[in-house]
Amino acid sequence: MLVLAAAAAGQAKAEELDGDILALKVEFQDTGRELDDLLAEDEALSSDDPRVTEIRGREAVLVDRRREIREEMADLEARTPEGLSAKAAVVFADFRGAADHRFPVSYNPQAALVASLARDILGRVG
């Protein structure tokens, strides 16, 4: 029972101090899922399908919003482990693809280090 109370207090403090960061992480994840769905739908359609224009327009809106989310998060200081973890989750999502040396075309050693740091943070506080 004490553990549950401590966790609830920790989450309440995180919401109080880092609520903006936590909300941005959720929005980043939600827009990422929607973008993945749209990209899959886009790939399945023929290029002359009338829905392609609408889908690509929505994709562009989501890409722009995800850029804005990153910028907004960068301007906010994480004040709790949960806030730090939220920022690390966004960083890891962005850099994990370039961090795999098995794919030399996309591999980038700087990205690998950034992804590794984010993964370490997530492992300790996430």
Separation of alpha carbons 124 and 15, rounded Å:
19
Average model confidence (pLDDT) across the chain: 89
Is 51 contained in some domain?
Answer: yes
Give per-residue pLDDT as tens, 53-93.
999 999 999 999 999 999 999 999 999 999 999 999 999 99
pLDDT at 97 over 70: yes
Q: Is the pLDDT of residue 46 over 70?
A: yes
* pLDDT over threshold 90, residue 98: no
d(CA 24, CA 21): 5
Q: Is residue 72 part of a domain?
A: yes
Number of domains in the chain: 1
Asked if pLDDT for residue 27 goes beyond 60, the answer is yes
Whether 99 has a pLDDT exceeding 60, the answer reads: yes
Per the domain annotation, does 73 fall within a domain?
A: yes
Q: How far apart are CA 39 and CA 52, in angstroms?
A: 10
User: 126 falls in which pLDDT band (50, 70, 90)?
Assistant: low
Torsion of CA 35, 88, 14, 27, to 10 degrees: -10
The answer as to whether 69 is a domain residue is yes
CA angle, 83 as apex, 81 and 85 as ends, to 5°?
A: 70
Tell me if 11 is assigned to some domain.
no
Q: Does residue 6 fall inside a structural domain?
A: no
